[in-house]
Chain A
């Protein structure tokens, strides 16, 4: 999908990529509405320049880069106030709408969900850059690519990933077979 992509091609590309990038933004921010707003903004900016990029080849990486920066900026400029629809100094539990625990299906409440909750809780405790780095790593990007996306050196990216893994291990140990 190079320069001059049709509206249908752009729509297909959005539908194919939106779940991954939105999930990433939601996880970085801990706030569904803000995340969707940022994702939408980033798509719009990128599509506005669709004529200058090959979105099929580079679009996803460009999106992750734009979303990482927008989310990290958003988190670092938030004031630490408790609010109705958004939240806190670390940016999470209170930026999030309160979860409706009773909406979960019985299957979701099973043991597998414990691991999900543990990893979600662990990710919330990470500083924004560490969270972005470890999530991009988990999504399959190489250390050098992560460094370029976050605007840091490759060695710094390595440090962020290492620290994030260490913290997350504390949350995962009680749930892992080895632990």
Chain B
């Protein structure tokens, strides 16, 4: 391992840990805004003489929402990986029952040696579409999950390359960042659905209607609209964050897989097979999409370049990834020819 690779890796790890913290902070601030914003609206409305659902004074909603936000983050940090695996319907691979499962376990052990990471827990998702993802808080507590379709479709070398890609994410602390995000996306969607129901049937809606009958205050109305819109937009914003965070990482994980296996062509072939199996991965829902090796929704967007695709696709274009890997394979083959066979193979440049 050259000094350059090492600093690159450590810089990437540090950047990921930092980004995780920022996202967590932004999440708590956003929850505080949802709470204190509501308090402010009630306070302003009351000051202007409107009838309000409760007496202003102590910012009850704000404090409650901030506490909920912090609680959610703590909960997510502790059990995010479990939630992600649960939502994908993954079953832990304890005793390999089939030869395919044993092969998966062996390949995972081999790559753990090559990557120099502790052995992660292995999971299998029963789904015919080939896909894989990694999750967990740090390299010591990490999980790699693959679909049964992946085990059936790929040969040994290709499976090894895919597992290597996932170990790349683990080594980079990508998994920490992505798991935090995935769990936060899930939490916000749940909150929105819950609050939406409460607004439709509960006190909030009633209060609003009473206010309007009395000739609503335009300023209060505007504030209310902005506040409600931020509730509706919350999942979208967090989703965009997840996309922005995940796309660039795929290239680095691809390169790390090639470094571990010394066989970039195997990953290129695996990606081609995964791409050719067009069916969406049904078990893997939107919230976990950004963690997978290939977009589980099979979106056409992934194949497009440009600003729109940049903003909304979870994964870089598959054809670009494959082309880069093939270029790596070509270069290492060329170097091997000019230098003669070497003991450690030829490391692709990172």
Binding between chains A and B:
no
